[in-house]
Amino acid sequence: MTDQPSVTPPRPAAAARHVVTLRLMVNGTAHDVAVEERETLLETLRMGLHLTGAKPGCEMGQCGACTVLLDGEAVYSCLLLAVECEGRAITTIEGLARDGELDPIQRAFAAHDALQCGFCTPGQILAMKALLARNPHPSDDEIERGMAGNLCRCGAYAKILAAGRALAASR
């Protein structure tokens, strides 16, 4: 047995981080942002643009807390790379109100108490906006199916349905 020191082989170098500059259209405004190619849209919105309405929930596309609109369609921002969104219209909950007035969907959610803790509310509202854009007069079943990808741990589903029903009736 010798008293030679053990030699630890060198670890492979960490993957080089490749940063790109993108122009993202968020809530009608162009933003030039530097992002890593592997950065999600959720991370860019929250960390790069300080828009914190979209929430990190499961980060696997199963809860809907991170829902935003991409070209008018509800998407999970935790599953999209920011680089995939360049040149496309991104709408977050922060972009719905106009001139200090809440969007009708936001007003309906408040009027029907379709929120409790509020964590899922931005994603729920944006999912409802996309649903009503596709189908202005959905049935209760269509509302339930359209909102199925957004979870509410507080159980406000009946009130969310009531808000959707009221919105459908008012169109």
Domain residues of the chain, as ranges?
19-94, 104-169
Give yes or no for residue 5 having a pLDDT over 60: no
* Topology, domain 19-94: Ubiquitin-like (UB roll) (3.10.20)
- Put simply, whether the predicted model's pTM sits higher than 0.85 gets the answer yes
How far, in Å, CA of 168 to CA of 164, rounded? 6
Give yes or no for residue 114 having a pLDDT over 50: yes
How far, in Å, CA of 34 to CA of 86, rounded? 12
Return the SS3 of 46.
helix
Confidence at 17, pLDDT banded by 50, 70, 90: confident
User: What is the reported pLDDT for 123?
Assistant: 97
User: What is the reported pLDDT for 4?
Assistant: 54
Lowest mean pLDDT among 7-11, 140-144, 151-155: 7-11
User: What is the reported pLDDT for 116?
Assistant: 87
How far, in Å, CA of 4 to CA of 72, rounded? 66
Higher pLDDT: 155 or 70? It is 70
Give yes or no for residue 2 having a pLDDT over 60: no
Question: Of 138, 31, 24, 131, which Cα lies nearest the Cα of 73?
Answer: 131
Give yes or no for residue 48 having a pLDDT over 90: yes
Q: Is 109 exposed, middle or buried (0-12, 13-18, 19+ CB in 10 A)?
A: buried
∠ CA 65-53-111, nearest 5°, is 85
Confidence at 11, pLDDT banded by 50, 70, 90: very low
Give yes or no for residue 157 having a pLDDT over 90: yes
As a whole number, mean pLDDT of residues 100-120 equals 94
Confidence at 6, pLDDT banded by 50, 70, 90: very low
As a whole number, mean pLDDT of residues 125-145 equals 97
For the beta sheet containing 89-91, the strands, ordered from the edge strand earlier in sequence to the opposite edge, are 29-36, 19-26, 89-91, 67-70, 73-76
Rounded to 5 degrees, φ, ψ at 144 are -60, -45
Its CATH class, for the domain covering 104-169, is mainly alpha
User: What is the reported pLDDT for 101?
Assistant: 96
Give yes or no for residue 106 having a pLDDT over 90: yes
Question: Of 36, 63, 33, which Cα lies nearest the Cα of 51?
Answer: 33
